[in-house]
Amino acid sequence: MVEYEQATRDAWESDLLAYDRLLFLAATMLDVVVPSGVTEGEPLTAAQRARLEEGLAGAGLQVQPGGPV
């Protein structure tokens, strides 16, 4: 891997982990059910992330772009 590719990948992984943490925090604040196996501070799987996003959307929080505002 080229050096700049690693830096980009590291930044992307850091952003994704920050997003996961915010999803977890929002779910906790809105009493949204957190999927089993989710641990605060750990990266989510794509399926866990999708379930949290769906739960938050059901609670009235739009987390994905392109939906109603």
Looking at residue 1, its pLDDT comes to: 60
Looking at residue 5, its pLDDT comes to: 79
pTM listed for this prediction: 0.77
Q: Tens digit of pLDDT for each residue in 8-65?
A: 888 888 999 999 999 999 999 999 999 888 888 889 999 999 999 999 999 999 887 6
Closest residue by Cα to residue 20 from 7, 2, 3, 37? 37
| Conformational region of residue 11, where left means phi above 0, alpha means psi within -120 to 50, and beta covers everything else | alpha
| Domain locations along the chain | 3-56
CB 44 within 8 A of CB 53: no
Looking at residue 36, its pLDDT comes to: 86
